[in-house]
Chain A
Amino acid sequence: MIKALSLTFLLASTSLLAHANDGVLDVVAPFEIKGKDPVSSGSILMKMSVTQTLVDAKADGTLIPGLATQWQVSEDGLTWTFSLRSDVRFHDGSLMTGAAVVAALEWSRNNGGLLAKTPLESMVADGQQVVFKLTHPFTMLPAMLAEYRSAIIAPSSIQEGQVVDVVGTGPYRVKQFTPPNTLTVEAFDGYWGKPATIKQAAYHGISRAETRALMAESGDADITLSLDPASFTRLQSTAGLKVESTAIPRVLMLKVNGEVFDKATRHALSKAIDRVGIAKAVLRYDTAATQMFPKGMAEWHNAALEPFAYDPEAAKAELAKAGWVLNAQGVREKNGKAMEIEILTFPDRPELPLIAAVLEQQFAAVGALPTINNTSYTEIPAKHNNGTLSTALFARNFALVPNAVGTLLQDYAPSGEWGAMGWNNEAFTAKVKAMADGSAPEGAREELVAILHEELPVLPIAWYQLNMAVSDKVTGVVIDPFERTLGLSNVTWKE
């Protein structure tokens, strides 16, 4: 009997040899599927080309028509009219009408979508048009409609106050939805655009970076997103894989409580950080921040700004000048209070705790008393809101919508959970708001950049690269700096 069993086992394992060439395009990423609602899982649904938005974005951030063919704004900036494609069918076969779009966007707006952040008064369907009425001008509206939470799902998706099904408009439709790890999709015959070349694809949410790298290496994954720095280096020399990397508008930064650490102290701490060393040793790519915005954000990057310097001696002198003097134990204190710095961070991005450890040493070297608190990322907004936060290390995406003003508005006008704390610069707030409503004069953007560089409400540390491993078996994968799409429907098998 044992013989028979082992024989079966042997046969079973040899018949599996062909596992990698099953005709399914496998995408592996760290994000687990949180449910059917585009508000929580929309990023995955967009990457898998299941859902789409009214407005699309090119790699440089230019907005282009998506499910809407065009849009116009009235003279006073209060009425936006979006014309919809007339030939779009949802995956359940129904036509995408203005009413369906309004229903989907109302759902998003009431359940944590980005539209809640717009001065929206009403949204009305008029045939194949949707008219947005605003309470005050807001030029960011089209950009906000490009975000994944503003995806258009069919009315049949929402029943009894729940998203019960993902019925989108994309070239792929959901075949099997098995949260938290797997989503399989198949090409949708009734797609309005160019149909998908590969008929079957699967998304695998694998939270462990090691496992993702191993899946790329073994050929199980055709597209692997978000590699940890060590794997990134290792996979570069792996046969059958291409490791690609592109600059994205995501900035690794240290949020600093401005009520505890004044401007002079923030500048001194900034000089205590060896950004180049951190980028090279931990991130393994050469993108230490020299200012807030990375070079890829051409409109926001100002090459003329003086780059951040690493100078621990100057940092010590400046700290002393700012009132932080060394006590008998060699620790800096001000008004009898030691310079305690708690670096709050989280392990979801594997490089963050490593960088926190480096910062801990570099701050200790200038006489501070740093500690690391590696916990849930929800502690950052929690401690921001109850005022107990000291510093926090995270990576902020400036392209949640394809326009950085959206993020600046949330984070620095005058403060925000993922931006400034205990900082209020009226000029900055006024200018960001002016940019959002379209009334900002020429040069406002440069002034915003200059204020951030001069005031340092947060300490930028490094600019991110989006890295991914793509199997040699496929071609046509898109690396989108806005992390919206992979261009799945245009991916083909290589002969």
Chain B
Amino acid sequence: MQLIFKALLWRLAQAGVVAILVGVLSFSMMIALPGDMIYRIAGARFGYDNINSQNIELVRNQLGDPAGISAFVNWMGGLLEGNFGNSLVTGEPVLSEITHQLGATAELAGIAILLSLLIGPPLGVWAGLRPDSWIDRCTLLMAAVFKATPQFLLGLLLIVIVSIGLGLLPAAGYGEAKFFILPGLTLAIGLAANTTRITREAVVKARAANWWQFARWKGLSERQVFWRHGLRHVSVPVVTLIAAQFVALMEGVVVVETIFGWPGIGHALVHAVFHRDVPMVQGTALIMGLAFVLVNAAADVIARLLDPRAPNP
């Protein structure tokens, strides 16, 4: 237990460093982008029909210089008080926008991971218990195909097949349970491609291990060995993989959110960068950075609970 607390403290320190680094880096990257920020912000507010020099000057007078050092110092100062500032485009507090969008993304990511766990590990176990069978070869092929399929293509294919062809689910939208399945599945299939293979490898390795043989010799059936001992062993690499996949998931979320019209944080970040909405970019990047730390911390704890023998993290 003490080790777990130590690991968590370590992750907490990491979170602090991440916050500062992300704040500085996202700000400097934003000011390094070419072009006059005020034009982009005014463009976002007024649209292409109504952006003109008069409105640009209006925005400039309202905002001052969003790329100035004082803007950064103010943001950092506000952060200490838990204030993320206001969006330069909508004027709404960044925190309330992020909460809404992060919630939407977390829901989507959660569903994606859940679906991927329903698909990946069972298939992996099935294949791992029968290495080199046609099942094993099939899952290998499917995993390779789905891993190589870009998410935007998969998403559009799913819409075409499930929404238009079968008329089962809505093509896009957000809010009710029915909207979750297609975007969730789009992400889940890509994730499951990985977990299937990792689980399969882990199962094959476990079955070749001495402890498996020993358990068989002492009279347990293959099924008993798997449920009593094998599952726990196989889970460790899968949990670690899920944490690592979080990065890929965030990448996928940006694409999938755009296709399915999902008001998530990936979509928000892309738009914020496009519109040079500096506080929004900083806030979003910060929250995403902290989420990485949190997910990794959770994975550490779970892996340790599953396998108390592991060395210090």
Q: Residues of A with Cβ closer than 8 Å to B?
A: 2, 5-6, 9, 12-13, 16-17, 19-20, 31-32, 34-35, 37, 39-40, 43, 111-112, 116-117, 149, 162, 178-182, 204-208, 210-211, 214-215, 217-220, 346, 348, 376-379, 381-382, 385, 394, 397, 400, 410, 416-418
Complex Cα gap A39–B47 (Å): 10
CB distance from A226 to the nearest CB of B (A): 13
Indicate whether B303 reaches chain A with its CB closer than 8 angstroms. no
Within residues 30 to 65 of chain B, which ones have a CB less than 8 A from any CB in chain A?
35-36, 39-40, 42-56, 58-59
CB nearest to A162 among chain B residues: B91
Are B258 and A207 touching (Cβ within 8 A)? yes
Which B residues touch A346, using CB under 8 A? Answer: 48
Are B168 and A16 touching (Cβ within 8 A)? yes
| 9 interchain pairs, CB-CB under 8 A | A16-B168, A19-B178, A35-B90, A180-B263, A180-B271, A208-B259, A215-B170, A379-B39, A382-B39
Indicate whether B214 reaches chain A with its CB closer than 8 angstroms. no
Which A residues touch B52, using CB under 8 A? Answer: 381, 410, 416-418
Are A111 and B159 touching (Cβ within 8 A)? no
Indicate whether B106 reaches chain A with its CB closer than 8 angstroms. no
Which A residues touch B181, using CB under 8 A? Answer: 12-13
Are B46 and A40 touching (Cβ within 8 A)? yes
Complex Cα gap A218–B261 (Å): 15
Are B89 and A34 touching (Cβ within 8 A)? yes
Complex Cα gap A379–B47 (Å): 13
CB nearest to A384 among chain B residues: B53
Complex Cα gap A381–B46 (Å): 13
Are A214 and B91 touching (Cβ within 8 A)? no
Contacts A32-B271, A180-B271 hold; do A13 and B259 have CB atoms under 8 A apart? no
Which B residues touch A37, using CB under 8 A? Answer: 91
Indicate whether B69 reaches chain A with its CB closer than 8 angstroms. no
CB nearest to A211 among chain B residues: B172
Contacts A35-B90, A208-B258, A218-B159 hold; do A112 and B170 have CB atoms under 8 A apart? no
Are B90 and A179 touching (Cβ within 8 A)? yes
Are B171 and A214 touching (Cβ within 8 A)? yes
Which A residues touch B168, using CB under 8 A? Answer: 13, 16-17
Are B164 and A381 touching (Cβ within 8 A)? no
Which A residues touch B35, using CB under 8 A? Answer: 376, 378-379, 382
Within residues 115 to 162 of chain B, which ones have a CB less than 8 A from any CB in chain A?
118, 122, 156, 159-160
Are A211 and B54 touching (Cβ within 8 A)? no
Which A residues touch B54, using CB under 8 A? Answer: 112, 116-117
Which A residues touch B258, using CB under 8 A? Answer: 207-208
Q: What are the 5 tightest A-B residue pairs by CB atom distance, in nearest-first order? A: A378-B43, A35-B90, A218-B163, A378-B39, A16-B178
A-contact 0/1 string along B16-39, CB 8 Å cutoff: 000000000000000000011001
Are B36 and A220 touching (Cβ within 8 A)? no
Contacts A182-B263, A204-B172 hold; do A381 and B90 have CB atoms under 8 A apart? no
Contacts A214-B159, A385-B53 hold; do A205 and B261 have CB atoms under 8 A apart? yes
Which A residues touch B263, using CB under 8 A? Answer: 178-182
Which A residues touch B97, using CB under 8 A? Answer: 179
Complex Cα gap A39–B167 (Å): 39
Are A381 and B160 touching (Cβ within 8 A)? no
Most chain A beta-carbon contacts within 10 A, residue among B159, B173, B259: B173
Complex Cα gap A215–B172 (Å): 7
CB nearest to A13 among chain B residues: B168
Indicate whether B175 reaches chain A with its CB closer than 8 angstroms. yes
CB distance from A484 to the nearest CB of B (A): 13
Are A381 and B171 touching (Cβ within 8 A)? no
CB nearest to A9 among chain B residues: B118
CB distance from A380 to the nearest CB of B (A): 8
Are A16 and B169 touching (Cβ within 8 A)? yes
Complex Cα gap A377–B49 (Å): 10
CB distance from B268 to the nearest CB of A (A): 7
Are A378 and B122 touching (Cβ within 8 A)? no
Are B43 and A397 touching (Cβ within 8 A)? no
Which B residues touch A39, using CB under 8 A? Answer: 45-46
Indicate whether B174 reaches chain A with its CB closer than 8 angstroms. yes
Which B residues touch A34, using CB under 8 A? Answer: 44-45, 89-90
Which B residues touch A385, using CB under 8 A? Answer: 53
Complex Cα gap A416–B52 (Å): 8
Find B53's partner among A43, A217, A381 (CB 8 Å cutoff): A381
Contacts A34-B89, A206-B172 hold; do A217 and B164 have CB atoms under 8 A apart? yes
Within residues 205 to 246 of chain B, which ones have a CB less than 8 A from any CB in chain A?
none
Which B residues touch A394, using CB under 8 A? Answer: 48
Find B163's partner among A40, A117, A220, A377 (CB 8 Å cutoff): A220
Are B48 and A377 touching (Cβ within 8 A)? yes
CB distance from A385 to the nearest CB of B (A): 6
Indicate whether B107 reaches chain A with its CB closer than 8 angstroms. no
Contacts A381-B51, A394-B48 hold; do A220 and B172 have CB atoms under 8 A apart? yes
Which A residues touch B59, using CB under 8 A? Answer: 112
Contacts A35-B92, A217-B164 hold; do A206 and B261 have CB atoms under 8 A apart? yes
Indicate whether B260 reaches chain A with its CB closer than 8 angstroms. yes
Complex Cα gap A16–B179 (Å): 10
CB nearest to B53 among chain A residues: A385
Find A219's partner among B39, B167, B177 (CB 8 Å cutoff): B167
Complex Cα gap A461–B214 (Å): 80
CB distance from A464 to the nearest CB of B (A): 13
CB nearest to A184 among chain B residues: B175
Indicate whether B274 reaches chain A with its CB closer than 8 angstroms. yes
CB distance from A450 to the nearest CB of B (A): 26
Are A180 and B268 touching (Cβ within 8 A)? yes
Complex Cα gap A130–B118 (Å): 65
Which A residues touch B42, using CB under 8 A? Answer: 378
Complex Cα gap A377–B91 (Å): 22
Are A377 and B51 touching (Cβ within 8 A)? yes
Which B residues touch A12, using CB under 8 A? Answer: 177, 181
Most chain B beta-carbon contacts within 10 A, residue among A178, A205, A220: A220
CB distance from B92 to the nearest CB of A (A): 7
Complex Cα gap A39–B52 (Å): 14
Contacts A116-B54, A220-B172 hold; do A378 and B40 have CB atoms under 8 A apart? yes
Complex Cα gap A385–B163 (Å): 47
Are B172 and A2 touching (Cβ within 8 A)? no
Which B residues touch A116, using CB under 8 A? Answer: 54
CB nearest to B89 among chain A residues: A34
Are B56 and A218 touching (Cβ within 8 A)? no
Which B residues touch A377, using CB under 8 A? Answer: 43, 48, 51
Find A181's partner among B45, B58, B261 (CB 8 Å cutoff): B261
Complex Cα gap A32–B274 (Å): 14
Are A214 and B118 touching (Cβ within 8 A)? no
CB nearest to A483 among chain B residues: B49
Which B residues touch A211, using CB under 8 A? Answer: 159, 171-172, 259-261
